[in-house]
Amino acid sequence: MYMSTDEIRRAYLAFFESKGHQIVESSSLVPANDPTLLFTNAGMNQFKDTFLGLEKRNYTRATSAQRCVRAGGKHNDLENVGFTARHHTFFEMLGNFSFGDYFKHDAIGYAWEFLTKELQLPADRLVVTIYESDDEAFEIWNKEIGIPADRIVRIGDNKGAPFASDNFWQMGDTGPCGPCTEIFYDHGDHIWGGRPGTPEEDGDRFIEIWNNVFMQFNRQADGTMEPLPKPSVDTGMGIERIAAIMQGVHSNYEIDIFKTLIKEAAAVIGYDDLSNQSLRVVADHIRSCAYLIADGVMPSNEGRGYVLRRIIRRAVRHGNKLGAQGVFFYKLVGPLAEIMGTAGVELKAQQELVEKVLKIEEDNFSRTLDRGLTILNEALDNIDGNVLDGETVFKLYDTYGFPADLTNDVARERGFSIDEDGFETAMAAQRQRARDAGNFGVDYNDAIKVDAETTFCGYSATDGEGVIVALYRD
């Protein structure tokens, strides 16, 4: 059964509404109540205080389609974009939440009903994981749902593998935590990858679609786990991953939204081969960049704005690689707002501004891009070993506006890596020189600094020099 991404979003929210859930709007990508968080990266973020019992709402069940960005910060999928079938910098997370209302039994039951009845997925393509000691979840999956024991995989704490499953969730070192159960879809043995819990699980054959977190304990400072009086449920399903399944394709980059964006990107860049990886990167990056700007983030040299700037510059570089003549990136905002369906309405309202910001940023960077690339490629041609020295990475950053990850992206394409420590050392030396010279005007620190408690409240058209200024309220 084919379903468009927009149809899936509606079906999910309607299904959980029919199960007594309040439909809640997606919150901003800039977290309102959590200064420790770079960008909203999960559906539960806006409900954090409700889970903690600090905020009371007039419902105990909620559902949402939350826009998320995982670039920079704790969850960073930027380096995966273009390389895996399943990672984006921007994606939408469908979620259902119970605040001390239902628990494991209903959460698992709803997930199964949605997947196998509403979406009519064949049960034998689904594999689930549980936390190693969570016998309760095992019993529900095995006895009530009827999944054979050999398709219920017990998984413990992450042993450090980059994407490997970690089936115990915690908000921080102390506080609410608990086991997870994740649902994977088997895309077929023609695709490389192993079942979850095997060394090959980072392949793209078995793709994780839905994580169900059972908040069950309150971890104390001394490490003891106190059972929560009212356990809660937090779930998240990436809409692009389920769309791939419903549209009969393997990669997220082949779904309706990405087909359109890749086609548009190819047209504005002037490039024919739609399977090119750089087109995927551009199509991915326009989503994070456009939505971040619409949510009030402006390109800058620090904090959130610097992450945005880095993503824009990466996209521009990939377009340049395909031969783009002149600015192109901003032209994708319109097609994006259109193809996002109900999730594109807010973007449409801001379209002109988003385009303007992107165009200015792209224009600025394109002035130094070619020169920087020439220097970088020369350095790579003459490299001794396979690591690019930190001084060169710094020079590209300082003089040509190349964020270190962009330099790394180019180097990686040619089989090299960069000396990150050497870059940091050169940065520190630069900061010291600036301090010695009594120059506090420019902040070269690209560490993530998050301003506490700022609320975006719109744009002023210009600051008098043709630059758009985001307005914040403390």
Q: Considering CB under 6 A, how many residues would be counted as binding ligand ATP?
A: 17
Minimum CB distance to ligand ATP, residue 384 (Å) = 36
* Lookup: tokens for 392: 């060169």
Neighbouring residues of 429: CB distance < 8 A, sequence distance ≥ 6: none
252 binds Mg ion (CB under 5 A): no
d(CA 37, CA 77): 15
Nearer to ligand ATP, 158 or 460 (CB): 158
String marking each residue 215-254 x if it binds ligand ATP according to CB under 6 A: ---------------------xxx-xx-------------
Query: 379 with 385: CB under 8 angstroms?
Result: no
**DSSP letter assigned to residue 305:** H
Bridging pattern class, strands 455-460 and 469-473: antiparallel
Residue at token pair 């559906």: 43
Nearer to ligand ATP, 88 or 285 (CB): 88
Helix/strand/coil for 161: coil
Minimum CB distance to ligand ATP, residue 77 (Å) = 4
From ligand ATP, Mg ion, none, interface partner of 238 (C-beta below 5 to 8 A by class): ligand ATP
Burial pattern 281-315, b for ≥16 Cβ within 10 A else e, equals bbbbbbbbbbbbbbbbbbbeebbbebbbbbbbbbb
From ligand ATP, Mg ion, none, interface partner of 239 (C-beta below 5 to 8 A by class): none
5 binds ligand ATP (CB under 6 A): no
Phi, psi of 383 (to 5 degrees): -70, 145
129 binds Mg ion (CB under 5 A): no
* Lookup: tokens for 458: 């719109």
Minimum CB distance to ligand ATP, residue 65 (Å) = 12
d(CA 124, CA 121): 9
Minimum CB distance to ligand ATP, residue 188 (Å) = 18
SS (H, E, C) 322-389: CCCCCCCHHHHHHHHHHHCHHHHHHHHHCHHHHHHHHHHHHHHHHHHHHHHHHHHHHHHHCCCCCEEC
Spatial CA neighbour of 416 closest among 371, 441, 384, 447: 384
Choosing from 12, 16, 39, 91, the residue that interacts with ligand ATP (CB under 6 A) is 91
From ligand ATP, Mg ion, none, interface partner of 86 (C-beta below 5 to 8 A by class): ligand ATP
DSSP H helices, 35-141, are: 48-51, 104-113, 135-139
Choosing from 9, 13, 77, 388, the residue that interacts with ligand ATP (CB under 6 A) is 77
Minimum CB distance to Mg ion, residue 165 (Å) = 5
Burial pattern 34-57, b for ≥16 Cβ within 10 A else e, equals beebbbbbbbbbbbbebbeeeeee
Choosing from 209, 266, 307, 404, the residue that interacts with ligand ATP (CB under 6 A) is 209
60 binds Mg ion (CB under 5 A): no
Give the CB-nearest residue to ligand ATP.
Answer: 238
Q: Which stretch binds ligand ATP (CB under 6 A): 81-89, 255-263, 457-465, 466-474?
A: 81-89
What angle, rounded to 10 degrees, do the helices at 420-436 and 390-400 form? Answer: 50
Spatial CA neighbour of 282 closest among 247, 258, 250, 304: 258
Interface residues for ligand ATP in 409-448 (CB under 6 A)? none
From Mg ion, ligand ATP, none, interface partner of 240 (C-beta below 5 to 8 A by class): ligand ATP
Choosing from 28, 50, 98, 211, the residue that interacts with Mg ion (CB under 5 A) is 211
Choosing from 26, 211, 278, 408, the residue that interacts with ligand ATP (CB under 6 A) is 211
Minimum CB distance to Mg ion, residue 154 (Å) = 15
212 binds Mg ion (CB under 5 A): no
472 binds ligand ATP (CB under 6 A): no
From Mg ion, ligand ATP, none, interface partner of 237 (C-beta below 5 to 8 A by class): ligand ATP
| Binding positions for ligand ATP, rule: CB under 6 A | 70, 77, 86-88, 91, 93, 163, 208-211, 236-238, 240-241
